[in-house]
Amino acid sequence: MTRVVYLVAGEASGDAIGARLMAALSARAAARARPLEFRGIGGAQMTRPMPLCGAPGSPALRSLFPMAELSVMGLVEVLPRLLSLRARLHQTVGDIVAARPACVVCIDSKGFSQRVMAGVRARLGASAPPLVQYVAPSVWAYRNGAARARAFRGVADHLLLLLPFERAHWAEAAVPHTYVGHPAVEVHLEMAEAAQLEAAAHSKKPCSVLPPRHPRVLGLMAGSRPVEVDAAMRVFPDAVHELRRRARGGEELRALLINAPDTDARACELLHRSGLGADVALNDSPGALRSALSRCDAVASVSGTAVLQLALARTPVVCVYPAPLMTELVARLLARVAHVSIPNLVVELEPRFEKERARLPLIPELLFSHCSPRTVADALEPLLLGARAHEARAAQLEALAPIRAYLTAPHVRSKPSEVAADVVWRLARLDEGA
C-alpha cells in the first residue's frame, strides 16, 4: 500500500529543503520497494518531476495551492493578508486530515507551520501522525527564548535542527530533536564535488583563492522573497554607482546580479528600472551558483542562507538587510543576539569560538536603518577598491575558515537531507505496513 508523506513549505528556501528531502526519501523508498507518495504545499523545486517520484514526467508533488501565498514576512506584509492566510490554514489542516499521512513535515515558515500542527493535533488527537518541524524556531535569538522553546514542547513531535549550537536550547526544553545540518552545507559539498570533477577533467588543481582580476566584479544577491528583492534593489544600484565614483587609477567595477528562480523576473525588472549596467545570472543549481561566484571578487547579499553559502564557497561577502522601521523596532525589542548572519552567529553563540568573539563581525552587517547605499559602499570598498583589496578579501576568508570546518566536517559522509530523511523514515515507520 502506498504511504503518504505530507510536506508544507512556505517560501523558496523551504521549497529547496523540501525537494532535497523528497529526493532522499524517494531513493530509500525505491531501494526498499516501498511505494511512497508526496502531498502538500511546495514551490517550483518540490513540484517539478523527480526521477524516483511518481509516473515519468509527472510532478513529484501537486501543491494544494500556490506556495507564493505563504511567502510573506514582517508585520507590514502579513497584516493585510491575515484573512486569506487563515483560510489557507484551514484548507491545509483539512487536507492533512483527509490524506491521513504517515508523517507531516513542516519546513520553516514557523508561524504557519505551528498553526498547521496545532490544527492537526486538535482534529486528530492521539491518532495524529508524527508532526515534524524541519528548521526549528530561532529561540536562541530572543530574550525570552527559553520560554518560547518550552511552549513548543507540545506542538511538534520532533525538530530537525540546522545548526549545532541549537541542540543545547532544545535539550533544555526537553523537545525531541536531531541535528541534521544546514542545506547550505549540502550545496557547498555539491559545488566542491563539481569543482573536483572539473579540475580532474582538465588535469589541474582547483584554485581556492582567486587572484586579483581587472575589472573587479561585485555580485549582488537580493534575496528569495519579493519583499526582500524590492528592498534590496532600492539600495544596490546606488551603492554600485557610489563605488564606481570612488574608483581611482583606472579601476573598473562591474556588477553581476545573481537571482533566485522565484524572484528572477522581479529582480530583472527592478534592475532595468534602476538603469544600472549589470550582468544577470540565475542561481537555479549548485553548478550555476558556482559558475556565478567564480566571476565575483565579492558579493553583497541579503541576510539568509545565501550569506552562509558565500562563506562556505570562500567568496568575500557583505550582509545587508534593509527593512521598515517597525520591523527594526520589534527586532531590537525582542532580540538577544547582536548579529543576523549565520557565520557571525556561530561565533557569538557557540562556546568553542569564545576567543574569536573579539573579531566580530567576521562578515560586515548593514541592517535596517543602517543599510543605505553609502554604508553598503563603505563596507564593500575595502574588498573591491585599492591596492590592498585582495589582502582584505583574503583576511575575511581566513577568519571564516574555522566556521567552514565546524559546519562542514560532520557532513562529508552524510549530507543534511540524507540525515533528515533517515529521521522522517523512522518516525513515519515507512518500513512497516500501513
Q: Which residue has the higher pLDDT, 410 or 76?
A: 410
For a pLDDT cut of 90, what percent of the chain falls above it? 77
Q: Which residue has the higher pLDDT, 59 or 103?
A: 103
Provide the CATH topology of domain 186-411: Rossmann fold (3.40.50)
Q: Is the peptide bond before 56 cis (omega within 30 degrees of 0)?
A: no
pLDDT value of position 190: 87
When pLDDT is cut at 50, 70 and 90, the band that residue 203 belongs to is: low
pLDDT value of position 324: 86
Whether 196 shows a pLDDT value over 80: the answer reads no
Average pLDDT over residues 250-278: 95
pLDDT value of position 1: 82
Question: Is-above-0.85 flag for pTM?
Answer: yes
What are the tens digits of pLDDT across the range 316-326? 999 999 988 88
Top CATH class, 3-183+414-428: alpha beta
- Which part of the chain is CATH 3.40.50.2000? 3-183+414-428, 186-411
Angle between helices 183-201 and 12-32 (to 10 degrees): 70
Neighbours of 213 (CB within 10 A): 11
Q: Which residue has the higher pLDDT, 192 or 341?
A: 341
What are the tens digits of pLDDT across the range 210-229? 455 579 999 999 998 888 99
Q: State the cell numbers at 356.
A: 574569536
Q: What is the mean pLDDT of the chain?
A: 91
Grid cell 492537526 is found at 120
Q: How far apart are CA 283 and CA 191, in angstroms?
A: 12
Residues 303 and 284: beta-carbon distance below 8 Å: no
**E strands in 185-291:** 216-221, 253-259, 279-282
Average pLDDT over residues 253-260: 97
pLDDT value of position 59: 62
What are the tens digits of pLDDT across the range 399-421? 999 999 999 988 877 899 999 99
Instruction: Quote the distance between the C-alpha of residue 37 and its chain's center.
Output: 25
What are the tens digits of pLDDT across the range 346-390? 999 999 999 999 999 999 999 999 999 999 999 999 999 999 999
When pLDDT is cut at 50, 70 and 90, the band that residue 280 belongs to is: very high
Whether 54 shows a pLDDT value over 60: the answer reads no
pLDDT value of position 113: 95
Whether 208 shows a pLDDT value over 60: the answer reads no
